[in-house]
Structures are given as structure tokens and as C-alpha cells.
Amino acid sequence: MKQKKKKGFGKKFVITMVCGLLCGLLTAGGLTGYSYIRYQKEKKAEEAKKQEEEKRLEGEELAVSGEQKEAGDNRVSSVYDVSVVWDNTIPSMVTIDTRRVTYYEFFGRTYEDESEGSGSGVIIAQADELFIVTNHHVIDGATAIQVTFVDGSTAPATIKGSNATEDIAVLCVQFSDLTKETLQAIKVATIGDSDLLTGGEMVIAIGNAAGGGQSLTVGYVSAVDREVEIQGVPMKLIQTDAAINPGNSGGALLDATGALIGINNAKLVATKVEGVGYAIPISNVISLIHQLVNREEIDYEDSAVIGIVGQDVTENLSEALNIPIGVYIKEFSEDSPARDAGIPLFSVITEVNGMEVKTMEQLRDVLGHIRGGSTGTVTVQERVEGEYEEKEYEITFSIRGK
């Protein structure tokens, strides 16, 4: 009996030891698992904190970078929806159709040759009439001019004024030739500042390309103040890779906001050249446009004369003889207002009443819109001790019909 009890005790001892060992292992495992889970949570929290810190530092760097950029360059770079620009500006655009009639004689008989042309224009102002700016070469020699507006209506136009040297012309349309619906559909263009242009800015060209109606092309400013000679006349133009095709002449070059910054002028056509178009900077000619818009219509007999015999000083003569470009005074006529004003013989006239004068044709055109008997100014380049100096003289114009 005693031996049986001893055996039972040993069995219980072994079971107790095994259970204790198992409990120890489970406890240790539980503690180890808990430590591992806690470690992982702490690790993730530390990584999240690190990422937030990196984002914060990155944001500070961007802010500093932005401040430095703003300090060095105040321009704002934005992306505009070109379709919005189209909708906002197309009411200011017109197409221009011209008709020219040339007469010639052949074996004693007079024949008539009629030709047609097309171009573009921009509504620049409205007062008692509607004023449209275009290129001089678009309307040069035209015997009839018709303008088509955004709503498809048409109206006849007349030439208010033109300047061949700058290749700028202003047309006028009478309100009586426009319907109420057309007046509500059209609007005056917003004038921009081409002096602020830099290379790489986006520009938009709108015009009557190839005579097929208004169309739009987009490009960038390739160069500003590009010196180009067009039909023998040197000009400083905006160069762009926006497509400017025949019929675009006189149309609008717009900045990304839709402001008018140039008048499309020409396209350089050559077999090895592509993506080169030109526009007249609006800031260079806006003063001239205003003068053409505001000039007075005067009967020929009532217009002004200054009493000179002049000669054009062309680019070639200017370079060869070192004389300023303008109208060279060769002699005075009898009772000459120019001589009475004290203007020296052999001076070169460059402006009359603030209007640029480079040729005798321009001089006659300017005087044709000045009332005889009025007082004005004549600006000349006057030779003083071997050098030309600019001087302005007050003058009382004579009346042509007297």
C-alpha cells in the first residue's frame, strides 16, 4: 500500500512540473508577442512622424523658393483656356474684302481690270462711327471695301486714315449701316502693352486666314523687336511661331488673356523657313492709331500748306549722306509759312502736329487733315555745327485754296 501511494505522488509531481513549465512558456510567449506588437506600433508611429517632418520641411523650402521667385520676377505665369479667349475676343474681329479696279489703254481703247483681295481687322474704337484697324497694304488702292462682322452681317467701310510706312490703316463704318443686332454682337478690343512682352510667352493669332473666315492659331513669342525689311521698308516686329497666313494681315495678335498686343503683318515665306510670322507691336502704333481715328475730315480747298519744295530722304540716302530720314527742304515757296516760322532751309521735317512724316506723300496726307489758317507745330532735324539736332517750331498754316 505504501508503495502505491509513493508511485501516485511521483506521477502528480511530474504533471505539476509539466504544467508549470507550459504556463511559463505561455507567459513568456505572451510577453514576447506583446512586446513585438508594441514595437511595430511604435515603429509605424515614428515613421509617420518622420514623413510629416519631411513634408513640413519640403513645404518650407517651397515657400522660400516661391518668395525668392516672387522677389526676382513679378510676372504671374498662368494657363488660360484658349476657347474662352476666342469667345471673348471674336466679337472684336472682322474680315475685310476689297475690290480694286485698274484702268489701262491698249491700241487706243481703255480697258478695266478688276481684282479682289481679303484681309482682317480689329474693332479699335467707337464714337460717332465704328473704327477698325488693319494693315495699309490690305486696303491700299481699294475702290470698294466691305467688312463682315461676327454675326455674319456686312457693311461698307471707308478709309479714315492710313500710314504706308508703319503699314497701319483705320477704317470707319457708319452706325446707320449696322443693325441693332450687329451692334449688340460686336465689341471694342481690349488694348494690351506689347512693351511688356518677352520671348516664350504664349500668343494667339486670329484672322481671316486664306480668305476662308475667322480662324485661330496658337504659338509663342520667338523674338521681340525683330528687325525685318518688308517691301523695302525696315520695321521692328514681334516674331512668333503662331501661323500667320495670307488673309491674316490686319488681324489680331493677342496675349494669353485676350488683350491686343499686335497687328498681324506678314509671314516670311521661304522653302526652308517654317513657323515664322510677324506682327506690328501695338504699343509702337497706338498713338498713330489714335491720331488717325481723331483726325478731322477737311475739304481739300480748306486744308493746310506749309510752302516748301521737298524730297524724300530714304533709308539708302540717309546712310549714304548721313541725313535723318524724313522730308528734306530743298526750297521755300513764295509766302512760305515754314520760312516765316523760322525753319531753316535744308532741314529735314520729321513730324507735323505730332504725326510722323517720312515721305512727301505722308506730309501731304497729314496736311490734308489740318485746317488751313490754324496754328500747329513742325518738328525738324536741323543741322547745327555739323550735327543734326531736333527742334520744334510753331507755325500758322496757310489755306490751300487761297
Q: Running DSSP on this structure, what letter comes out for residue 359?
A: S
Hey, which residues are catalytic here? 137, 167, 249
Helix (H, G, I), strand (E, B) or coil at 306: coil
Evaluate whether 241 touches 110 at the Cβ level (below 8 Å). no
Q: Phi/psi zone of residue 73: left (φ > 0), alpha (ψ -120 to 50 degrees), beta?
A: beta
CA 309 to each of CA 86, 363, 393, 395, 401: distance values in angstroms, whole numbers, following the listed order? 50, 11, 18, 17, 18
Other beta carbons less than 10 A from residue 303's beta carbon: 21
E-only strand ranges, 79-214: 93-106, 109-126, 129-134, 144-148, 154-156, 158-163, 168-174, 202-207
d(C-alpha 212, C-alpha 55), whole Å: 55
- Would you say 205 and 248 are in contact if contact means Cβ atoms under 8 Å apart? yes
Cell, residue 343 = 525753319
| Measured distance CA(159)–CA(131) in Å, rounded | 10
For 272, residues 6+ apart whose C-beta sits below 8 A from its C-beta are none
CA angle 83, 150, 155 (to 5 degrees): 160
Amino acid at 47: E
Q: Give the C-alpha separation, 74 to 90, whole Å.
A: 30
Going by C-alpha positions, the residue among 186, 155, 207 that lies closest to residue 91 is: 186
